[in-house]
Amino acid sequence: MKKFITTLLLGFVTAAYGQNLQPIDYADPLLGTSESRWMLNPGATLPFGMVQLAPDNQGGVWKSGYEYTLGNIGGFSHIHSWTMAGLSVMPTVNVLNVRRGPADGPTTGWTTGYRSRIYKQTEKASPGYYAVTLMNGDIHTELTATTRTGFFRFTFPHQENAHILLDLDIPFENTAEILDARFTRVSDTQIEGYSLQKWSWNEYKVHFVIRFNKPMKSFGGWKNNYEVTKDVAEIKGKGQMGAFADFDTKPGDQILMQTAISLVSIEGARQNMNQELAPFGWNFDAVHQNARKVWSGLLSKIKVEGGTKENKKKFYTNLYRSYVARTTWSDVDGKYVDVNEKIRQVDPKNPVYGSDALWNTFWNLNQLWQLVNPDLAGNWVKSLLEIYRTGGWLPKGPAGIEYSGIMEASHEIALIVGAYQKGIRDFDVPLALKAMVHQQSTPGVVTPENGFAGNKFFESYMKLGYVPQEEGQVSNTLEYAYDDWCVAQFAKAVGNEQVYQQFIKRAGNYNNVFDSETGYIRMKHKDGNWVKDWNPFCCTSFSGPGYLEGNAWQYSFFNPHDVQGILNLMGRNEFNKRLDDGFEKSVKYNFNADGDLYDLVPINHGNQPNMQAAWLFNYSGKPWLTQKWTREIMDRYYGVTPYHGWLGDEDEGQMGAWFVMAAMGLFQTNGGTGVKPYYEIGSPLFEKITIELDPAYYKGKTFTIVAKGSSKQNRYIQSAQLDDKLLARPWFYHEDLVDGGSLVLQMGPRPNIKWGSKPGDAPPSMSPNRE
């Protein structure tokens, strides 16, 4: 009886705890970190944080940074932005060792470095917080952050000679060369400095300030192949170099360390520190709770009810990832360094952002940000226009606020257009039109730092109407045509008929590379002849001719603005058969082309060009297959452990945002860029989803999606109501969502093949239905 009562009480406690879980409690930064990239890690940061304070345990390899299966840590660094790193911190004890050591080697001894094994069971991560105990010295290390500052708490259980190492030579995906660096001891408790570093086209200067809550016993550094200098006021050099602060610790002592960075100046870093940390003093827990409050406010904008604990974990972790990897690069006072290395000034309320490419973010991040955080989406638009204003071009992926040239086309245009069409218009609209017209009418150029601005192969595209085999990827034709359509839609919305007519004609250029004989998008020579040595699964390309990170099979479905146009060319029956067969063949691969083996996996959800595929059945008269296959992707591709969070290449939250939208049963194949944007309907994972709408942009308070009876089996829509009116088609307008109200779906275990399947039920496309 006693055992029964105890078990019963434990059950009540567990049930009560489960009922009290908030959205933030389901978000797990460790999820998927056995295969994550530099920009996605279990570290402490705020949304779009300049400081992304995280553990690093790998060498300078692809997908470097943090690997869950490695039981050691080589430092905690501040910057985890694409192609960028900066200021690694590591606490150690006893004999001073300034070498990091190899990721796969032993972790003791001078030649192997200061890297430490960890007690894996002590590792904890939640939004805005990370903690672990290092075996070397049993040092319990905790991290938290504000947008531009880091806060460390080191707890030393023994009496030790302690060292806090500050290393600038950080191995990561794009390991930078240290061109010039300096550490200066400002006082017994403060250090300041900078590191001028470069990788390829990206040269940037990380300025930093550091302060401790206790005076340093001594200060020194190393350079020139680990040559150590002690008891100095300054260390200067380049290449492998760093500094150390020494302390005497007693059992239980805690050393608190606050840091701030800036790409502008040391004074900028100091201002960042003073403004963002002043309210908290030296209270680590208060900074941690502030980070938790910020993340909780963001994650709670969408509330889900029903469904499994695993799916809630997937949902809120993926929502968290959608905001965690891109970077703020302007300081608290609005100063930033532009593409020409000039210090500029913006309104501090409108930060300037850096990121990897915005390649196909219209299928994930754009639509999520614009729906849930229109204020942040508006800031992104202002940031892109600020870079155009000072640099002359819209950026594709402004890492460190430079023209990287990474990825193809100019899909930042879709972000700007989608924001405007959804009523997010607090930016310079005439400047936006001017910027987009320039981008889509001027061939791209190599920039002075050897980056690239604008579109490659664009002169031929404008002359021939396609990108020829002799110059580049035929798939660029499709991407350029989509951007042309976006410019046309923006011009139409603002009443510029001339620009509309100019670009709407080019929006149909995909027709120029569709081979009606084979039914595929095909590579074409300058003289107009098709490339002969070809098959639908050939010719994946990363830099030369062919199909960019894909193949003809996948790109033949890539036509975001005109799915009906492809249906007309391919034929409805062939379209449906080919697409459904592709999904059936890809199930055993969990919809991921491991090792980029595109010929094996038709549906490759693990890369951008294929992420719309499951939604296309809404256009082709079989919406139940959209319901089926979006569920299969959510179930199979996405996981809930560190070993399986996602497959493939999660580019700064894109796959996370896709999951969030799909789990709500919403999607926008054309990126919401039409004059009257709409949402396509899939199969919601949860029985009830409530979206909190921003009153500054949308007049409805909330929009609720109710999926009655939704479960793993009950994935098919039987009937639908929008605001208490029958909805017979698998889509509805954005304006009907942001007015507030509800979408109510009755779910069941078998498809209702009559719902939403008539030709007139399909979502709008540029082309009319010719059948």
Burial code (b: 16+ CB inside 10 Å, e: under 16) for 89-114 equals bbbbbeebbbbbbebeeebbeeeebb
Report if residue 631 sits inside a domain.
no
Provide the β-strand partners of residue 143.
Answer: 130, 152
- Give the number of domains in the chain: 1
Q: Give me the amino acid identity at 556.
A: S
Q: Please give the residue range of the domain that contains residue 193.
A: 27-297
* Alpha-carbon 714 to chain mean position: 31
Report if residue 126 sits inside a domain.
yes
Report if residue 704 sits inside a domain.
no
User: Parallel, antiparallel, or unpaired: how do β-strands 702-708 and 741-748 relate?
Assistant: parallel
Report if residue 283 sits inside a domain.
yes
Report if residue 59 sits inside a domain.
yes
Residue 19: its pLDDT value, please? 60
Residue 769: its pLDDT value, please? 87
CB 474 within 8 A of CB 511: no
Identify which of 384, 391, 382, 379 has the alpha carbon closest to the alpha carbon of residue 338: 391
Q: Taking the CB of residue 539, how many other CB atoms lie within 10 A of it?
A: 24
Which H or E run includes 431? helix 429-439
Residue 105: its pLDDT value, please? 62
Report if residue 4 sits inside a domain.
no
* Beta strand segments in 370-497, E: 445-446, 452-453
Residue 158: its pLDDT value, please? 92
Report if residue 89 sits inside a domain.
yes
Residue 215: its pLDDT value, please? 98
Q: Which residues, 6+ apart, have CB-to-CB distance to 16 below 8 Å? A: none
Distance, CA of 349 to CA of 332 (rounded, Å): 9
CATH number at residue 115: 2.70.98.10
Residue 224: its pLDDT value, please? 87
Distance, CA of 120 to CA of 22 (rounded, Å): 26
pTM: 0.96
Residue 346: its pLDDT value, please? 98
CB 176 within 8 A of CB 107: no
* DSSP letters for 725-739: EE--SSEEEHHHHHT
Residue 242: its pLDDT value, please? 97
* Alpha-carbon 561 to chain mean position: 23
CB 313 within 8 A of CB 663: no
Blockwise average pLDDT, block size 10, the chain, 771 residues: 39 48 98 93 98 96 92 97 97 95 66 89 98 97 98 95 97 95 98 96 97 98 93 95 96 97 98 98 98 98 97 98 97 97 97 95 98 98 98 94 93 98 98 98 93 95 97 97 98 98 98 97 97 93 90 97 97 98 96 84 93 98 98 98 92 96 98 98 98 97 98 98 97 98 98 96 94 72
Report if residue 135 sits inside a domain.
yes
